C-alpha cells in the first residue's frame, strides 16, 4: 500500500505533458547533435556548465517564467518546476549567476537561436518541424520521448 501511494505521488510529480517539449540549438561547428543529451542540457540551463564540449561558450535562452512550455521544459529536463527552482537561483545569485536570459516569445527564441552560434533553447513539441536553419532539434521529451 505504501508503495502504491509513493508511486502515485511520484507519477503525479512527473506526469507526462501533453505536447512535450523539444530542445533546439544552433550548435557550434565542433559539436555533433548526437553528443548532446538531457544531462548536458540540464547542466547548461542550470548554469553548471558554461561551455560546449568543443570549448565554445554556450548561450542557453529561456522563455518567460509564466510560459507553459518553459514549465514543461523545467519539469522534464531540469527536474523541478520554475517555481521550485527559485531557491536554487537565490543561492546562485549570491555567487553572481542569474538564470539564462529570457526572450519574450517562441518566435523571439527562434530568431535568437538563428543568429547566435552556440545557443540552445526549446520549443513546444509541435514547433520542432519548422525551425529556421541552422537551428536543429536535438531531442524531444514528452508522452513518447524520442530524439
Residues that bind another protein (CB under 8 A): 1-3, 6-7, 9-10, 13, 39, 42-43, 46-51, 55, 57, 78-80, 84, 86-98, 101
Cβ of residue 104: shortest distance to another protein, in angstroms? 17
* CB-count exposure of residue 119 (10 Å: 0-12, 13-18, 19+): buried
Min dist. Cβ of residue 65 to another protein (A): 12
Closest to another protein by CB, 16 vs 42, is: 42
- Find out whether 140 and 128 touch, Cβ atoms under 8 Å: yes
Backbone angles phi, psi at 24, to 5 degrees: -125, 150
d(CA 58, CA 50): 6
Cα(2)–Cα(5) distance, rounded to whole angstroms? 5
Closest distance to another protein from the beta carbon of 82 (Å): 11
Residue closer to another protein, measured from CB, 100 or 127: 100
Residue 123 CB, nearest distance to another protein (Å)? 22
Considering the complex, state which of residue 11 and residue 132 has its C-beta at the smaller distance from another protein.
Answer: 11
Task: Compute the distance between CA of residue 67 and CA of residue 117 in angstroms, rounded to an integer.
Answer: 24
Amino acid at each position: 500500500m505504501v508503495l502504491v501511494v509513493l508511486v502515485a505521488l511520484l507519477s503525479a510529480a512527473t506526469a507526462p505533458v501533453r505536447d512535450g517539449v523539444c530542445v533546439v540549438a544552433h550548435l557550434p561547428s565542433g559539436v555533433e547533435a548526437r553528443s548532446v543529451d538531457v544531462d548536458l542540457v540540464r547542466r547548461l540551463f542550470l548554469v553548471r556548465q558554461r561551455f560546449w564540449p568543443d570549448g565554445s561558450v554556450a548561450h542557453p535562452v529561456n522563455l518567460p517564467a509564466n510560459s507553459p512550455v518553459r514549465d514543461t521544459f523545467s519539469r522534464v529536463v531540469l527536474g523541478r518546476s520554475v517555481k521550485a527552482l527559485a531557491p536554487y537561483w537565490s543561492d546562485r545569485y549570491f555567487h553572481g549567476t542569474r538564470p539564462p536570459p529570457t526572450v519574450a516569445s517562441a518566435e523571439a527564441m527562434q530568431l535568437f537561436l538563428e543568429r547566435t552560434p552556440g545557443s540552445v533553447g526549446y520549443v513546444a513539441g509541435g514547433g520542432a518541424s519548422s525551425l529556421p536553419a541552422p537551428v536543429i532539434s536535438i531531442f524531444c521529451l514528452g508522452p513518447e520521448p524520442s530524439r
